[in-house]
Amino acid sequence: MSDGKIIKSRPMPMDEETQNFIQEWKHCVLNDNSDTNKLFLMLAPFFVHWENQLKRQDKVEHINYSTLCCLLSEENENSLKMIECWLNWVEKTSTIKNELSYIFLERVRRFKYYPTLAKPIMVEYIIARDFKLALKQQIVNVWRKVHRDAHLLADYDVDFDKEVDYSYLDPLMYKQLEKFNNWQQYLLKLILDQYSSKDRSELTLIHRRNLYIEERKIWDLVKLKLLDN
């Protein structure tokens, strides 16, 4: 967040009218199996807006970016460092546009409350705020992980990624594997072995948005099976 002027305009800058966008968003939120392609075409300018703000750190800021910085830290310098850390991480694992899209998709599939009495512009504000909070949390998580890994490197002077085996054997989880079909076992094994979402997408040749839907079904099954035990 800089000392420049803050622009407070539409909550989600895009070309589509708010009413049309909200209707499409509502359709996707209330139907887990809905096609999100139309929604994400509408969102393209919104993601461009966020990417520009995050990369350029404009002196003339949109209220979304300004409040994100405030949420990250009371100190402006710390906020910018955290954002820069996240940008570096994203560029190594995916792209900014893809990551923003993935975050939004996760929120769409988890957002189960639709404020029926609110005006469309207020619903858009709620969506923008929910996305911003999800983005803030991912930035914080990446910041913590990078610093944790840097601490281990400094303490042990080893290549953390090469020396440490990230895969873990959860006996209860692997017990559930036997009850899944081969495709489900494969996806769950990739997740448990901590392949990134980008790696899983490349290995399965499935777009990350569609892969997320497939994986969510698996986690729902896991939860049900664990509850039965």
pLDDT tens, 78-122? 999 999 999 998 888 788 998 999 899 888 888 766 677 778 889
pLDDT range class, residue 169, cuts 50, 70, 90: very low
Total-model pTM: 0.65
Write down the pLDDT at residue 223: 63
Question: Each residue of 24-61: b (16+ CB within 10 Å) or e?
Answer: bbbebbeeeebebeebbebbeebbebbbebbeebeeeb
Q: What is the pLDDT of residue 177?
A: 56
- Look at residue 226 and tell me whether its pLDDT is greater than 80: no
Domain boundaries, given as residue ranges, for the chain: 6-160, 165-228
Are residues 217 and 191 in contact, defined by beta-carbon separation less than 8 angstroms?
A: no
Question: Is the separation of the CB atoms in 52 and 61 below 8 Å?
Answer: no
Tokens of 152: 């281990």
pLDDT for residue 57: 76
